[in-house]
Structure formats: C-alpha cells, structure tokens
Structure 1
Amino acid sequence: MKSKAVLLAAVLGLSAVLAGCSIDGTQRIFTSEYGSVKDAGYQLPRIPISKVPRQYHRQIVTYQTDEKPGTIIVDTTEKFLYFVMDGGKAMRYGIGVGREGFSWSGTARVALKREWPTWTPPAAMIKRQPELAKWAGGMPPGLSNPLGARALYLFNKGGDTGYRLHGTPEWWSIGQAMSSGCIRLLNQDIIDLYNRAEVGAKVIVK
C-alpha cells in the first residue's frame, strides 16, 4: 500500500511538471502557456521557453505591498513586472528594460491600451538610427513590429511619457537591459497583462 502511495505521488508530481504549473501554496508557474497562439489573425510563434531563465516565466508569487490590486509595479533592477492581486499575491512577469542611458523611473498611469499597435519611432531615435526614417509615419502592426501584440501607453501629469509596456518578438531580450526605455514582455505575457490591467491603472517604475 505504501509503495502505491509513493508511486501515485510521483505520478502526480510528474504531471504537474509536464503541465508546466507548480503549485506550493504561494507560487504557480505558467511555463506551459508559451505555445503558438492565433490572435486577431496573427499566428504568434511558440516561444522556446526552456531557453528563458525560469524566474522570468509568468507566475503567481507572494508579494506584499500597500498598493491596491490592479496596480502595476516594475522592478527594473530585478527585471520583473508585478500585477498586484488580492490576498498578498501578484502575477509576476519577466521583462526587458532600458539599456544604460535609457532607463527611467517614476509613477504613471495606463492611459490607453492597444491590440496589435502601430509603432512610430520618436524623432530622437530616428536621428540615432536613420534607417528607421521609413517608419516616421508609423510601422504597421505585425509579427516583426517592435511593440508586439499589445501595448499599454503610460501617461503622467505632463501627458504622454513616451514609454510603453509592450510585447516583443525578441524573447531572448527578457531579463536584459537593451531597450530604448520601454518595458517589454513576451508576447504571450503582454496579452495576459493586457487582459488584466484596466485603463487608469497606476504604474510604478523603480
């Protein structure tokens, strides 16, 4: 009887691993949710998630904060974005952040949300990279668009900050500091965050 119980426990444990979800009362990891996705007529490719460090896989974690549920907290040092949930929990996403000289911090709010957004490089970026001038009027949505499948536009008291929370096809950039200041997530993760975050949500970048 004891051996059967041990075998059952082993089978259940293996099933959890294969499902890509680990539940220990405080944490659930959504490793299995990075397959190919058809979205608004686009076929997002599968992400080779085994090549992305496990800490950057989407997961529910214990997270203590005085901020109310629905708040987004970006930790640019640890390369995590937290969506605050009830009960001392948060959905945590791995992110890519601004490279040296392009990082930023402060408080903003989600003013707009867009599915498959157009990307318009700012004038300063075009000056640094003249080859982007062809997109001065906007780059159409698509799998190669730098904003990916979704974008959340951040505004503060001064108006549009110019910064976005957005998807990226460059899965290898998660956990790195290599963007021009915007916060990038895996496309499958930005879709998840987009569905959770409300227009008007507070965003804290630190």
Structure 2
Amino acid sequence: MNRDDEAARRVPALEGMRNATRETHRRLEERLDAVRRFAECASREALIRRYAALHVPADAALAEALEPVAGLEFGARSRAHLLSRFVGEAPAFPRPRSRAEALGLLYVLEGSTLGGRAILHALARQGVADPDLAFLDPYGAATGARWRSFLSVLERETEGDAERVGEAVFGAVRGFDHAERVLCGSPA
C-alpha cells in the first residue's frame, strides 16, 4: 500500500473527492492527451496557454478563502509566475462559497502537480525539454511533501464533518469540470 492510499483512508474528503471525480478525471486525461500535445512543437504553446487560463485565474478566485489557512502556504502554491506571460483571455475560475469548497477546488490544481511530474518524465523519455513547461513540476523533489502537506490541511479543515466533506467534494467536482472545459473545450 502506498502513502497516497493510506492518506485516502485517513482523509474522508480525499476519498470522497477521488470517487466523485474519477470519471471526469479519466475523461480529462484521455481528451487532453498532454504528453502527445506537449511533445509536438506545433501544439505546445496553445496547450500552455490553456494551462495558464486555468491556473492564473485560480489564484485570484481562491486567495481570499485560502491565504489565511494555517499551514497551507497558499501563495507558495501559485504557478502564476510561471504562466502569467501566456495568459490571454481566460474564463473566470469558480468562486468557492466556503473554505472547504475552496480546498476541493485546490485539490484539482494540487493534484495536477503529481500528473505534471509524470508528463515531464514521459516527455524527457522522448527527448523533449522546454523551460516553458516548468509549471508542470513547480515543486520539484518536494512534490510528495507538498501533496502530503495539502492532505494534512484538508483533513484538519474538514475534520470528517459531513457538511464540510460534502463542500470539498462539490469543489473538486466543480474544479474538474472547469479544468476540462478550459483545457479541452466543452465536454465530449
């Protein structure tokens, strides 16, 4: 059993978010086909622009709810400095109605750091190296520790409370739906 599986059992919100978003997450990865699109020079910048349209507005939308959260270090989780030069027109990121919902929305963004590392490794095996893709792995070797830190905050902030867990799950569902629209266009 890996540490992420152990964490899911300790954090009811994480288990709920994973269950509620499994299908959308799978569909997003399939439709996005990020490794292929980042590997092709012709499609790389357009896809980076889509990631910028997702991540940069997220900072503003989540800041009010998440900057005050002890131990989260919300500002240090931002990728805006890595993506801001690519932002053009971007749809508004969903505004959370509660701190728990904001954490659910952040779950989508933080989880993408795990996937981003995998994407970069796959690209490296193909000989693709582009400094503009640094946003995919913003934490480097600290990715696992940052993820576990996020899970600790999520656990503390939801404390197994059914209402807060439900809000976090709702945020994750909204976040994945939004990410799919921004990164892939309308759902298939």
TM-score computed with the length of structure 2 as normaliser: 0.24
Could you say which structure has the higher helix fraction? 2
TM-score computed with the length of structure 1 as normaliser: 0.22
